[in-house]
């Protein structure tokens, strides 16, 4: 499976308007999808800026930055009220 096929058929709903290979009620596992691509490293867009680990449960802030949900929740619970990357 290559990245172009994954994007075309999976993310953009090329196969019956849904996610290829994912049944009803199943959660997409981005880490598993990345491993199946056999890439030497994870694309930087899937790396959380806080933990530097691949993201699985993504959250995008109003600043446009995307984070792993658990990491941004921890950041906010520590009393920070700005985006860790842009400080907005």
32 and 70 co-located in one domain: no
pTM above 0.85, yes or no: no
pLDDT in tens, 14-69: 444 444 555 555 667 777 777 777 666 778 899 999 999 999 999 999 999 999 99
In b/e form, how buried is each residue of 58-68, taking b as 16+ CB within 10 angstroms? eeebeeebbbb
Rg (CA), the chain: 15
25 and 51 co-located in one domain: no
As for how many domains the chain has, the answer is: 2
- Predicted pLDDT at 14: 45
30 and 9 co-located in one domain: yes
10 and 27 co-located in one domain: yes
As given in the structure block, the two tokens for residue 25 are 């009620």
48 and 28 co-located in one domain: no
50 and 36 co-located in one domain: no
24 and 61 co-located in one domain: no
Residue 47: domain span: 43-88
- Predicted pLDDT at 71: 95
């Amino acid at each position: 499976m290559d990245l172009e096929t994954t994007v075309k058929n999976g993310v953009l709903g090329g196969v019956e308007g849904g996610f290829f290979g994912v049944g009803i009620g199943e959660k997409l596992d981005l880490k598993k999808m990345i491993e199946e691509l056999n890439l030497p490293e994870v694309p930087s867009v899937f790396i959380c800026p806080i933990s530097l680990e691949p993201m699985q449960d993504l959250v995008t802030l109003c600043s446009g930055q995307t984070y792993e949900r658990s990491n941004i929740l921890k950041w906010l619970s520590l009393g920070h009220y700005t985006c860790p990357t842009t400080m907005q």
